[in-house]
Structure 1
Amino acid sequence: MNTPQTDNKTQWLYLFIGLAVLLNFTGLFIPILAPDGTLYAVIAKTMAQRNDFVNLIVHNADWLDKPHFPFWVAALSFKIFGISTWAYKLPGILFMLMGGYYTYLLAKLLYNKEVALWSVLILLTSQHIILSNNDVRAEPYLTGLIIAAVYHFYLAYLRGNHWQLLWGAIFTACAIMTKGMFALVPIGGAIVGHLAITRQWKQLFHWRWLLAAVLIGIFILPEIYCLYEQFDAHPEKVVFGRTHVSGIKFFFWDSQFGRFFNTGPIKGKGDPSFFIHTTLWAFLPWSLILFAAIWHFVKTGIKNVQQREWLCISGSLLTFLLFSASKFQLPHYLNIVFPFFAIITAQYFIGLQNERTIKTIRAVQTGLVLVLLLAIAALQYYFKPDEFEWDDAVTLVVWLALLAILPTKFAATDYRQTAFRTLIAAFVVNLYLNLAFYPSLLKYQAGSEAAVWINEHNTQKLPLVQSWEDANYPMEFYIEQPLTIVNEDGSGKLPATPFMFYGPATVVASLQAKGYHIEKQANFERYWVSRLKPKFINHATRAELLIPMEVVIVK
């Protein structure tokens, strides 16, 4: 039972958790970010429109890269709600919120209610979690599924409950069908690490884990079936420039271990320090406390191994080390261990008793908050977002006032002063990004902007042609009619005139030089918005990087 003191310490937290949930929905209607987000959305759109939940198709060609689960869920959402930005993003956000719920359950089971509530808040206000709920790919699904699997497997170990084992296997199978076999690393790392470090050998080699493996194997059969039907049953298909490609082999080996060892068809370059500096910004504003928490946990834990839980540290650090050793690294890979990071951070923060340490953390976090606020002010000054309305300004002013007032309600030696200051700063930063910055930034994703214009103005339903470009999926997702894609220079099989054409102004000029009559309809400016550069951020120099795009009628 919670004491009155504990209840008093958590009275604000429910309100802020509700607000954090809303914060993660603020990106729901922002256009989907290219290239990966729009690519995934196009695959799900094609799946829903064709009623084909077996084959993954891009540009009428077979696509072999990611497993099916997130596409199944997004396509089902399209079936229910129609094809739209929010219908694509909604399932991912809900899976992420499910991850928040399971983070609460696991933290409460391992520690107490106060740690559990702060764990949820830390998770839901971490920078890359909020970003991933705007730029939805596989990670929101995976984050929710992995922490759910760990929770149920841990309960199966504690209580010997077969139903918990079943649920753990279901969530694990869904995680594997989202990202591949590496999803087993944080799940297995958490359970195996805890049992091995605490020397519970009998529990580690218990027959229940063999049963779990069998159940997982059964539950991933839909993925195996789809891969067999699309690839293994058709060795004549050309994939990665060759025939006789096994989708099942790719799923179990090439997509995971092939990337890890850089021997698969999709290669990258590894940097052992990549995820250290990635964590610094991706887990903001909690990352510095996290590093202190991990150091403190390991330092004190080795002195009292049997009395500590090792789930979170094992699941997160094993995954972290494996990703760091990999040759294929991307920032969003790390999201899946953020629930563990949140619990580690919360239990450390709340358990602080040394006054000197509390003061040091307060000083560091206050400095960090000031840096974040200055960064937002600089972004506003240089970027000059078009979508910054008066109601957005009022919202930010209210939160800035709360930032100035609420932390002062707590004593300087109370961890809550620093915690709430850090928490509210996360709200200020991400409200600005999702209400002003990203809506303005996506105006330069010309494909989605042009598609919306064409949907409204192509009343004659003229055939639509687009010249190939990197990350051209925004047009393909947002357009509400068939789309023909020709070569980058405009060459290729064109429909009979008249037709509508979207592409760079230089390609339009080349069509005109070939004798076509051109009627200009609309102009747009394109920039690869997921690759920001200082020159683009600066409003004064932005035009130098923009590519003029045109919608024309070709006769």
Structure 2
Amino acid sequence: MEISPKLFFGLAAVGILVNASGLLLPIMEPDGALYATIAKNMVLSGDYVNLMLEGNDWLDKPHLPFWITALSYNIFGINSFAYKLPAFLFWLAGAIYLFQFAKRILNVKAAQIAVLVYLSAEHLILSNNDVRAEPYLTGLIIAGTYHYFRGYTEERLTHFILGGFMVALGVMTKGPFFGIIVIGGLFTEWIIKKDWNQFRSYRLWISLLVAGVAILPELVSLYIQFDQHPEKWVFGRQQVSGIRFFFIDSQFGRFFNTGPIKGKGDPFFYLHTVLWAFLPWSITLVLYCFSRFRLKGYIGKPGLYLSGASALIGFVLFSLSGFQLPHYLNILFPYFSVIVASYLITMSGAGERAFKVSSTILFWIIAVGITALVFLLKPAFSYYIAILIFCTSIAIYALTKRASSRNIFIRLFLQVMLLNIFLNAVFYPFLFTFQSGMHAAKHLQQAGNRNRVYMFYSMPADYAFEFYSTNPILRVNTITNNQINFPADFFTTQSMADSLMLDNRYRIEILKVFDHFRITRLTGKFV
């Protein structure tokens, strides 16, 4: 299967634009709005060392994404676009690094396919809308792998140093497990090839030294905020070490479920997560893993062991972890893209037939699924939208009617683009009407209200309100708190408002009611 350079650049441009459309949407709750608010607090306070949320010390994620976001705020202002843009650029850099990496371990045509797979992987597109740390990590992980690969194959210290620096940036974004995935893949390739001299190479140890030095800003910040202040209360206790949390409690604590942040891990969670998160290429990934297909012409090439081992190490780590979320898997997608590309350029016989049949079925499932979703949501002009979407699907199918692997690949790529155009242009704008905090903040701005707004601690966190609001906000325990200056504006839930209405000591007036639903956890009943 081969795609011409002109067609590749055209498809890549479409993929980048569709991913970029997420920049124009608001920030989703809870995590995206939480991270955006912490960076906002940095800029407003001028304090770039202490991570603060609602006036309290916040210890969970490392500083780097917040520093980068704060820089973006200082350039573009505090808004949704400025929050999402840096993450998008890191993700885009990942596509460039992926092309260079795949070109070196396979060839140009495989690199083109790998990039198109990366641009159209569903959860990567979703993550450019619901931005957390993953777009940063996705770009950094393939960058680190690329530089280490070139460093050892070309014996170039410069690339080892750059590889170590990329690992440091990833560690300052998520934690030590990032380094385990990149370095673990590198070590696995050397072990399989019995290239023991690489472990004694001064280049490797210099790169690790660079990584250790590069994470010092994170360690110093944690020391200043937490280790210097054992009197601070964090996770319901005192004498909490930020440095210990960074190296041990944060990720190893989550992995063994012994840290302050716990979950309920399922070793099979990511087996079914990858089936939808890596759509539309997850079936092709499964075909690669379970067919009798062998990369006879490629298996000995430098880099394939590295990428495959990094993917496997990451997948096993995530699967065995006690704390799991679907978006954690995103950082493995560059490796998956290389694997899928290596399969597609050499498949034949039963493997190729399976790809054609499964991809055609998936194409029509997506077409019918989008159309059905339109009728469920019933947006304005829903019938026209449904007809337009289905006719576009038919047009895509007709334009790629010849059942070659190349045409079927292009067809599926374009169908995923159509799906995400619908999501970002119709579906998500509809969902955002239920993100009450954002609309409450905008209502205050439009009304010219600059008063302090009070929120009860008993109310679930609403970080979208805190991010979009230009009003000062204060959390209180009860309405009798002596910090409240009456008359006072409150942002609260309907149930809390109803209970306040029954209190004869106060005259309560409801100024505005907003629809609310946690839109990142959709239910069939809600849809």
Give the shorter-chain TM-score range.
over 0.9
Q: Is the 8 A contact 2:99 2:111 kept in 1?
A: yes
In 2, the alpha carbon distance for the partners of 1:239 and 1:202 equals: 46
In 1: Cα distance, 2:380 partner to 2:226 partner: 47
Q: What SS class does the counterpart of residue 276 from structure 1 fall into?
A: helix
Contact 1:128 1:332 in 2 (8 A): yes
User: SS at 1:465's partner residue?
Assistant: strand
Pairing 1:407–2:400 present: yes
Q: For the Cα contact (< 8 Å) 1:388–1:436, is it kept in 2?
A: no
**TM (normalized to structure 2)?**
0.94
CA shift, 1:30, in A, is 1.6
Q: Given residue 46 of structure 2, which amino acid in structure 1 is its aligned partner?
A: N
**Distance between the aligned counterparts of 1:173 and 1:460, measured in 2?**
44
Letter in 2 for 1:365: S
List per-residue Cα deviations over 1:110-164 (Å, max 9, x = no partner). 1111111111111111110011110100100011011101101111101111211
Matched, 1:524 2:514: yes
- For each residue in 1:511-531, what CA deviation from the matched residue of structure 2 results, as whole angstroms up to 9, or x when unmatched? 333332233322211111111
Q: Which residue of 2 aligns with 1:543?
A: none
Cα distance, 1:352–1:39 mapped onto 2, change above 3 Å: same
Q: Answer yes or no: is the 8 Å Cα contact 2:95–2:139 preserved in 1.
A: yes
**Structure 1, residues 53-101: CA drift from partner, whole Å, max 9, x if none?**
1010011110111100101011111111111011101111111111111
2:46 is the counterpart of 1:46: no
State the distance in 2 between where 1:315 and 1:86 align.
32
Gap runs ≥5 in structure 1: 538-555
- 1:351 is aligned to 346
CA RMSD, 1 decimal: 2.2
Secondary structure of the 2:219 match is helix
Query: Residues 491 and 332 (structure 1 numbering): CA distance in 2 closer, same or farther, change over 3 Å?
Result: farther
Where does residue 162 of structure 2 map in the other structure?
A: 167
Alignment of 1:120-519 (within 5 A): 120-295=115-290, 300=294, 306-307=300-301, 309-354=304-349, 356-385=350-379, 396=389, 399-408=392-401, 410=402, 412=403, 414-457=404-447, 459-468=448-457, 469-487=459-477, 492-493=481-482, 495-514=484-503, 515-519=505-509
Q: Extract unaligned runs of 5+ from structure 2.
A: none
Alignment pair present for 1:66 and 2:64: no
CA distance in 1, matches of 2:471, 2:328: 34
Q: How far has the Cα of 1:373 moved from its partner? A: 1.9
Tell me if structure 2 keeps the 8 A contact 1:74–1:87.
yes
Equivalenced residue count is 524
Residues in 2 aligned to 1:214 and 1:290: alpha-carbon distance in whole angstroms: 36
Partners of 2:298 and 2:390 in 1: CA distance: 47
Letter in 2 for 1:433: L
> For residues 386 and 14 of structure 2, what CA distance do their matches in structure 1 show?
18
Give, in whole Å, the separation in 2 of the partners of 1:155 and 1:504: 56
Moved more, 489-498 or 183-192: 489-498
Distance 1:296 1:397, change over 3 A: closer
Matches of 1:157 and 1:510, distance apart in 2: 67
| SS of residue paired to 2:239 | coil
Deviation at 1:492, TM superposition (A): 3.8
CA contact (8 A) 1:176 1:182 kept: yes
Q: What corresponds to 1:553 in structure 2?
A: none
Could you list the per-position Cα deviations for residues 216-242 of structure 1 after superposition, in whole angstroms to 9, with x for gaps in the alignment? Answer: 000000000000000001111111111
- Equivalent residue for 1:542? none
1:44–1:71 CA contact under 8 A, matched in 2: yes
Taking structure 1 as the reference length, the TM-score comes to 0.90
Q: Cα distance, 1:358 vs. partner?
A: 1.9
Q: CA-to-partner distance for each residue in 1:474-532, whole Å, 9 max, x for gaps?
A: 11001012012234x75645522222222223322333333322333222111111111
CA distance in 2, matches of 1:72, 1:492: 35
Alpha-carbon distance in 2 for matches of 1:436, 1:74 = 27
Per-residue displacement from partner, 1:19-49 (whole Å, max 9, x unpaired)? 1000111111222111111110110100111
Q: Describe the shift of the 1:395–1:113 C-alpha distance in structure 2 as closer, same or farther (beyond 3 A).
A: farther
Change (3 A) 1:384 1:420: same
The correspondence for 1:533, drawn from 513, 523, 526, is: 523
**Runs of 4+ off more than 6 Å:** 387-390, 392-395
